[in-house]
Chain A
Amino acid sequence: MLTLIYANTTLGIAITSFLLGLFVLTKGSRNRVYVSWFLFCLFISGWNLGYYFTMFPHIDKMTALLSSRLSHASGALIPAFFVNFIYSWFYPEYNKNKKIVLLVSFISCSIIAFLSLTSLVVIDLTPKLFMKFYPVGKIGYLIYVINFAWWIIFVHSVMISEYRNLTIQRKNQLRYFFLGTSVGFLGGMTCFPLIFGFPFPPYASNLIFLSPLIITIAILRHQLMDIEVFIKKSLIFAGTFIFAFGVFVGITLLISQLIGGGRIISLAISSIIIIIGMHPIETWLVNVTDKFLFQKKYEYKQILKKFIDDVITVLNLDEVVNSTLKLLDESLHPYAASIFILNRADDKYNLYGSYGLENKDIAFTSESKLVYFLKKTHNPAVIKQVEGIKGVDPLIALEIHSLKAVLVLPFLLHDDLIGFIALGRKRSDEDYTKDDLDILLDLARTESIAIGNAQLLTEAAQAERRAAIGTMAAGINHEIGNPLNIMSTKIQLFKMARQKGLLRDKPVEEALDQAEAALDECLKQSVRISGVTKKLSNFAKPSKEFKPQLLNLSEEIDETLSVVGYDIDIGKVQINKNFTSGSFRVLADKQEIQQVFFNILRNAAQAIDGTGTITVSILNTGSEKVRVEIQDTGKGIPEDKVHRVFEPFFTTKGASKGTGLGLSIVRQLVWRNKGEISFKSQAGVGTTFIVEFPKGE
C-alpha cells in the first residue's frame, strides 16, 4: 500500500511538472525564460516518471533497473537546466563568466547523466523497507549526489544574492519560487540516504509534490509567468475527469454487483449520466475555482460598482483617468487598457493614459473609422462584432487591434463623443460577458460625466488664473514701475541740471558726489526690482519638489518664530505661545509649512503700530484636525478690503513693506497641503488668522 502511494505520488509530480512546463511553453515558445522553464520541468518530470516505473509493484526487475537508470540520467540533468532557467530569469544577457558557469554545469551534469545510464551509478536494485526495488549505489552514486547538491546550492545562493536587486513583484515571485524549489530539492535529497544503506525512508521525497504547489501559489498570487489560466483549466479538467471516471467505475461496479456483467448497460447508463452531468459540473467547477482561487476577480463587480459611485466626485482629470486604469487592471485584468480624450482645440482624440501599450504616441482624428463608428452608433465596438463582418469597415478592427484591444467603449456627454476607453483581452483568457459589458457601460457613462466635470473645472481654473494674471499685471506695473520711475527721474534730473548749467559753477568733486548719490539710489532701486521678480517667480511656480512628511506643528512654529524674530521689534511686540499639550502631527511639506507661518507671523508683526501682542495657539479640534490661530492686536483689515486679502498684490501695508504676494501664496501653499485658511478681523482691534490641517498618522 505504501509503495502504491509512493509510486502514485511520483507519477502525480511527473504529470504536473510536465503540464506546468508545457503550458508555459505554449505562452511563448520563443521566450527563452519560458523555454528554459519548460526544459527544467521536463527533466523533473522524467526523473519522477522513471521512479514511478521503478516503484510500480507489478514490474519485472530488468524494466525496473532500466527505468531507474533512465530516471537517474534525467535527474542528473536537472541542476544544469535549473541553472539555465534561473540565469535566463535573472539576466537578459550573459557575460563571459555566466556563459562559462552555464557551460561547466552542462558538461558536468551531462557526464553524470551519461554515467547514470551505465552500472556505475545505479549498480543494482534490492528490496528496501516497503519497496520492492530500490537503487543500490556506491562511489559512483556519491559523485552523482555531490554534483547534484553542489549545483542546487549554487543556484539558491545566486537567488539569494540577486534578491535585493529585484522589483517588488519579482521579489514576491522569487520568494515563492525559492521556497518551492528548496522544499522540492530538500525533499528530493531524502531519496539518497537509503541508497547508501542508511535506513532513512524517503518519505520526505513526497515533499517534491509541494514544489509545483508552492510555485502555483506564486503564479496565482504574483502572476509568475502569467499562467493562472493553466491552473484554472487543469483544475476544471481534473474535476470533470474525476467525475466521468467516477461515474463510470461506480456504475460498472454497482451493476456487476447487482446483475453480474452487464457492461453494455453500465456503459450506456454512465454515458447518459456523464452527458447530462458534465456541463453543470463544469460550470460549478468554474465558479468554485473563480471564487476560491481568483477571489479578486469574483469580487470585481462590487469593486467596479463602488468605483462608479466614487469617481463622480473626483474633479481632477489625471486622477479620474489613472484611477480608472488602475481599477481595471486590478479587477478585470485586461492585458492592455487605454483612455483617449477629445481635445476640442484640434478635434483630436489623444491618448491620455494607458498601460500595456508600447506606442504611446497615438491620436485619432474624426477621420478615424473607429471614432466614426462610436459617434454614429453610440455603442461599444466589440472586436468579435466588427472583425470580418460583412458591411463593417475592416479598418475599425485594425484600429482596435492597434490599441491591443478587443473592446472599445465610448464616453458620451450630451450625445458628444468626448473620449473612449479601449480594453485588451483579459488575462484569464475569457471573453467579456454580457454582465461585464453592462457594468462597463455603467462605468463609461459615469466616467463621461466625471471627465466632463473635470474639464469644466480646469477651464474655470484657467479663467481664474487669467484673471489673477490680470491683477498681477497691475501689481507688477506698480511694483516695478515705481522703482523704475525713481531711477529714471534721477537720471533725467541730473542731465537736466547739467543742461541748464546748474553744475557749471560747482566744484567737480561736488558734481561727482551728486552723480554718485544718484547712481547709488539707482542701484538700490534695481535691487528692489530684482526682489520683486524673485518673488514673482516664486509665485508663478511655488513648488520645488513637493515632499509631504509627518511634522509636529508646534516644532515648526517654534522654528519659524525664531526666524521671524529678526523681523519683529521684540521690545514692542510681545509673542505669547499658547500650545496645549498633545501631539500636533500633520502630513505636510516642511518648507511650505514654515513659509505659511512665516508670512502670517510677519504680517501680524507689521500690522502692529507701536506696542502689541501676537498670540499663537495650537489646538486639536475634534479628532481629525489640527488648528493654529495667530492673533494680533494690530490695526486690523478695513471691512471694505476684507474680501481682497488673498488677491495677489493686494496689500494694506504701503509702498515700503511687502509686495502683497504673501497671502495669495500662503493660501496656495495651505491648500496644497490639504489645509484651510481663514481669518477674522476688526479694524482697530486686530486680526486672527486660522489655519487648519488634517491630522497626520
Chain B
Amino acid sequence: MKKVLVIDDEWEFVKDFSMALEMFGYEPFRAVDGESAFNAIETKKPDIVLCDYKLPDTEGDKILEKTKKDHPEIKFVMVTAYYDEVMEKRFRTLGADEVVFKPIVLADIEVLLAKLSK
C-alpha cells in the first residue's frame, strides 16, 4: 500500500481527504504545518506528498524544494487555492510532479495518484 502524506492546515479538509485516500486504497498521513511535514517526511517516508501552498509557518515551495533535494524519489503534488500561471511554472521548475487547484475533485485525485503510483 502506497503511503501518501497530506500537508494542510485546514483540519476538516485533511480529515475528509484522508478518508477518501483510504477509499482509494492508500495509507494516508497528516501534517498541519512545515515543521510536522518535515518530520513526517523523514519518519514515514511517504511515496507521494500532497502539499498545500499556504501554511501557517512556511510556504509549500520550501517543502517542495527540500523534499526533492533530500528525497528525489518522492512524488510531490502542490495544492493551491490561488490560480496563478507564474506560480504553477515555478512549482514545476522546482520539481513538482503535479499542481492541483482547490476546490479539489476527488475523482481527479484518484486518477492522478494512480498515475503517480506507477
Chain A contact residues, CB within 8 Å of chain B: 473-474, 477-478, 481-482, 484-490, 492-493, 496-497, 500, 502, 521, 525, 652-655
Contacts and interface: CB of A to CB of B under 8 A. Distances in A.
A535 B9 CA distance: 22
A655 B20 contact: no
A477 B83 contact: yes
B19 interface: yes
Contacts of A488: 103-104
Given A474-B82, A654-B9, A481 B20 contact: no
B81 A478 contact: yes
Contacts of A485: 10, 13, 81, 102-104
B19 A493 contact: yes
B23 interface: yes
Contact of A484 (B17, B57, B102, B105): B102
Contact of B102 (A482, A525, A653): A482
The DSSP consensus for interface residues of chain A is helix
Nearest to A489: B16
Contacts, number: 67
A474 B82 CA distance: 6
Contacts of A525: 12
Interface in B61-118: 81-84, 102-107
A678 B49 CA distance: 41
Contact of B82 (A477, A487, A502, A653): A477
A477 B23 contact: no
Contacts of B82: 473-474, 477-478, 481
Contacts of B19: 493
Nearest to A492: B106
Contact of B20 (A489, A653, A654): A489
B47 to A, nearest CB: 22
A521 B23 contact: no
20 contacts: A474-B82, A478-B81, A481-B81, A482-B13, A485-B81, A486-B10, A488-B103, A489-B13, A490-B12, A492-B105, A492-B106, A493-B106, A496-B106, A502-B23, A521-B12, A652-B56, A654-B9, A654-B33, A654-B57, A655-B10
A517 to B, nearest CB: 11
A579 B54 CA distance: 41
B10 to A, nearest CB: 5
B23 to A, nearest CB: 7
A486 B105 CA distance: 11
Given A481-B103, A492-B106, A497 B13 contact: no
- Interface centre among B57, B82, B102, by most chain A C-beta atoms within 10 angstroms, is B102
The DSSP consensus for interface residues of chain B is loop
B9 A481 contact: no
Contacts of A497: 23
A654 B10 contact: no
Number of chain B interface residues as a range: 20 to 34
Contacts of A653: 56
Nearest to B105: A492
Contacts of A484: 102-103
B56 A474 contact: no
B81 A482 contact: yes
Nearest to B54: A478
Contact of B16 (A473, A482, A490): A490
Contact of A493 (B20, B33, B83, B103): B20
- Interface centre among A484, A487, A653, A655, by most chain B C-beta atoms within 10 angstroms, is A655
B102 A655 contact: no
- Interface centre among B33, B54, B104, B107, by most chain A C-beta atoms within 10 angstroms, is B54
A507 to B, nearest CB: 20
Interface in B22-43: 23, 33
In the A-B complex, the 6 residue pairs with the closest CB atoms = A481-B81, A654-B56, A488-B103, A477-B82, A485-B102, A485-B103
A493 B81 contact: no
Contacts of A521: 12
Contacts of B9: 654-655
A486 B23 contact: no
B53 to A, nearest CB: 9
Given A478-B54, A481-B103, 15 more contacts: A481-B102, A482-B102, A484-B102, A485-B103, A488-B104, A489-B16, A490-B12, A493-B106, A496-B23, A496-B106, A497-B23, A652-B56, A653-B56, A654-B56, A655-B56
A493 B84 contact: no
B23 A500 contact: yes
A485 B81 CA distance: 8
A478 B102 CA distance: 9
Contacts of A489: 13, 16-17, 20, 103-104, 106
Contacts of B104: 485, 488-489
B106 A474 contact: no
A488 B109 CA distance: 13
Nearest to A484: B103
Given A478-B54, A485-B102, A485-B104, A493 B13 contact: no
Nearest to B13: A486
A654 B36 CA distance: 15
A518 to B, nearest CB: 9
B117 to A, nearest CB: 19
Contact of B12 (A473, A478, A486): A486
A613 B55 CA distance: 27
